[in-house]
Structure 1
Amino acid sequence: MLYGTVRLVRLVNELYDTRAELAELAVGEERVRVSRDLHDLLGQSLSAISLKGDLATRLLPLDPARARHEITGLTEIARASLRDVRAVTRDEHHVTLREEIAAAQGLLMAAGVETRINTPGGDLALPQSAQRVLAWAVREGTTNLLRHSDATTCTITLARSNGTTSLDIHNNGARNQGLGDGSGLAGLKDRAAAAGGWAGGEPTGDGGFRLRVELPESTAAVDHS
């Protein structure tokens, strides 16, 4: 009985230690998620605010009405960003590929970047797991273009081939040919790996930069429900 009691105490202590370790791991994973989501979320929003602010400043003496319109848009982006931050902290922020592509096209065109959307063999009706990865990829690619390039054109291509769904974002004006290992891309790689795929970015031979994400059909199969 004494031996059994001592053994039971040891097992209870080990159980408490294990629970403490699991709790620490869960807290660490949540911190990583929040940090990654906030980085990806705010990067594009802050770039858009900066872009619209600069545009409004230039337009103010030339076209006050349009300048007011840009300021109104800037305010709306700031309010939406605040709502998104609150949603991220509660893990309630949902993104869709269609919305992110439309937002990226509008933002890039406002920045003077000719943007082309191609979906040959692709379909935007993807399950939520694939939507999240590809939507974050579009956001990350747009943010990097605005921050780190002098691009005048950008092409976003979604395609399905040989059991794989791929997303390519290519621009023609990479300012830093060594770009490709930032924290945003690292977070995107983690997202893609968690979905069974991969992501990577590299300079192209024409002086541009390409971001590519590939997801297996098991993850990115079209959702008909």
Structure 2
Amino acid sequence: MAGRQLASKWLKTEALLTDPQVAPYIPATESYGGDTLVSMLAEHEMVVIKPIVGTGGNGVIRIQKDGTGYLVTHKRRTVHADTLNSLLQVLGRMKLKRRYMIQQGIHLAKIHGRPLDYRVKVVKERGRWEFRAMLGRLASPGLFVTNICKGGTLLRCRHALRLSLPHINAREKRNEMRRVTRQCISIMESRFPGIGELGFDYGLDNEGKIWILEVNTRPS
């Protein structure tokens, strides 16, 4: 059951942030602009800029502080900016025409240097929500986005957790993702009646903390 579609990442993130139990799982998020870029970089070592409406990891930009300036990564290309002004010039040359949001960057756990996240898919059938998939997505070598359409590789969730974070309890993390997913379903269904399927993208950082990276109403 496909149900209602909602393209705006901003509206979905905003809805989840209203819940005090779910909000701690969401990276700091702002509407993108020059001022918010400066303030976010003052607080975070890494930020990610993404289109408010977009799929497949298209248009996503990562900015990291490296001690001598900023590393700006888009697709497989990384350029260095020495100052904030030069960083803004680099971004200006990218001609960001769509509306964007900016989020705290998460240092995702990796397997052989490749970032990893998790897709949890749920579907509403006969009035009940059912878990349909919980899979790891391993980024293609050289990319920081994990989308399968960008060459990412699917892994069994348990296997991915054990390879990337051998010091954590994989079963506990899977159960936590399920629990958070159930909380999010309740919020999303209340705020956006008519949705019939959801795909939650979770990231685990190097300490094993779970983060909600994105929610999709038409998950692949």
TM-score (norm 2): 0.27
Higher helix share: 1
Higher strand share: 2
Larger radius of gyration: 1
TM-score (norm 1): 0.26
Question: Which structure's relative contact order is higher, taking Cα pairs within 8 Å and 6+ residues apart?
Answer: 2
